[in-house]
Structure 1
């Protein structure tokens, strides 16, 4: 059930990515994120109130702040890059996150790094190189290259986010997580509001509300799933997003998936699956740290 719920959450996030790409192209990444977070906080407040407010523990609050900061930076980089590269390519590059999560868990949680994990890291680097070769052959321009680098940087932060998500799900309820994490991101973005904020055009209000709703429901579903399932196992649901990205990118933006992107995605996914020695190892390590 946790795997099924996580897969639905990833599907909704993929649809949200398509909506967000259109908004970033229309009003820029900052204002798209700012106004979406306003909607997320409003929805989170209602949901949290519906189940009853409860003062977060000190541990939970620290995790909310940490994941909010990481998630905010991650989202800004990803959506800025997404506006400059095809959706399928951006999603494929982000697939290195589960592998990086294994390496970070080894660093932070003192987990032994196996030989297969090291080989997987090398294989994933070939997958990334394949995607960049395809990008250069397609002559997408310097902005696309910068966008791909931004997505890679976002993937590094997403790996940190995966570890924090598991720890956070053990310390707080989904509604609390969705509300306070969104609030932290909103406060972070609000620091630049006097210089960058602008009221969104009327035609973008409906897409902004849709993006906020999709992100909120997805966050609730994933928080529930990570509280009831093993992190290493649930991370495999991330790979379903490539299909969503390819279809949505083609239907909405007319993007075609290049052979290089497809091959690179297959190599990265295979490397990540190979590196997952046991599906319960991430959960065991994280629960030990908790």
Structure 2
């Protein structure tokens, strides 16, 4: 009984560690962006990330991950690389609070993509949460004001493309183990991200190497911790913990780069976080309901 009772606490601690890892990755990207182009940062993030992943994947006695769906991984990694480049550019060139806040809008686009791509049914309450979330995005972007910057649309594009990636990962996870999905993603990403980097290549110098290594280690570590947290706990309970990334990057952005949090970003971020937390909660409730009634009456449609 004790291990079962300890599972929620372990899941929360793993999610917190994952959140801090992603926050530190964002800081590493911003520091590296001072001297290295976004395409190069993406390559080194993937290369060092793969090196950090190999000891986990290739443990003694563990077979090499195999898949019969390489073309699907190729499509997934091309789209994922586009999302990565947009996201990294945003972190490197926008205020961190805005870049990270807009990245949390991904679940809004996932909900819409699930309707049109996976034919999932979404009822009024989740549509209202999606509408509220988009209001938060508009509050941050402010296309009607002089504060609007076209660069903010790059961050929104990163969230949109990340939603497509999330749907693809959901589909691949049904046919391959999670470690297989991660392994083949990195295996494609390393050579694929090298191609655009070569057009802007210059060798990093000094401390920049430390930031690039940090991108890879923190990014891969965050992913591994995240997947293990979700195995032990429910998304609805863990999602609010992931929001801790925002105050972490706000504080570090203020300390390291002199950035301040403006009112519009704070209000918009609050709306987005509340909306995505509600969407995660509803998905968890519906998943439990479907699992409870599946043997007798089948899963009920989403709300």
Q: TM-score, normalised by structure 1?
A: 0.84
Q: Which structure 2 residues correspond to residues 139-158 of structure 1 after superposition, within 5 A?
A: 139=147, 145-158=149-162
Q: Name which of 249, 258, 270 aligns with 1:254.
A: 258
Q: Name which of 229, 242, 246 aligns with 1:242.
A: 246
Q: Name which of 213, 218, 228 aligns with 1:214.
A: 218
> Is residue 113 of structure 1 aligned with residue 122 of structure 2?
yes
Q: Deviations over 1:40-74 (max 9, x none)?
A: 12222233222533241224x45644443332211
Verify the 8 A CA contact 2:15 2:226 in the aligned structure 1. yes
* Residues 206, 274 of structure 1: alpha-carbon distance in 2 compared, 3 angstrom cutoff: closer
**Distance in structure 2 (CA, Å) of the matches to 1:180 and 1:117:** 33
1:256 positional shift: 0.6
> Is residue 7 of structure 1 aligned with residue 16 of structure 2?
yes
**Structure 2, unaligned runs of 5 or more:** 1-9, 291-298
Q: Alpha carbon RMSD of aligned pairs, Å?
A: 2.9
* Residues 97, 232 of structure 1: alpha-carbon distance in 2 compared, 3 angstrom cutoff: farther
3-state secondary structure, aligned to 1:26: coil
Determine the structure 1 residue equivalent to 2:111.
Answer: 102
Aligned residues: 280
Determine the structure 2 residue equivalent to 1:57.
Answer: 67
Verify the 8 A CA contact 2:65 2:183 in the aligned structure 1. no
1:177 positional shift: 4.1
1:264 positional shift: 0.7
Verify the 8 A CA contact 2:102 2:156 in the aligned structure 1. yes
Q: Which structure 2 residues correspond to residues 172-251 of structure 1 after superposition, within 5 A?
A: 172-174=177-179, 176-230=180-234, 234-251=238-255
* Residues 93, 32 of structure 1: alpha-carbon distance in 2 compared, 3 angstrom cutoff: same
> Is residue 281 of structure 1 aligned with residue 291 of structure 2?
no
**Distance in structure 2 (CA, Å) of the matches to 1:4 and 1:69:** 32
Q: Name which of 137, 141, 155 aligns with 1:132.
A: 141
Structure richer in helix, relative to its length: 1
Verify the 8 A CA contact 1:230 1:282 in the aligned structure 2. no
Q: TM-score, normalised by structure 2?
A: 0.80
**Structure 1, unaligned runs of 5 or more:** none
* Residues 65, 242 of structure 1: alpha-carbon distance in 2 compared, 3 angstrom cutoff: same
Determine the structure 2 residue equivalent to 1:163.
Answer: 167
Greater Rg by CA? 2
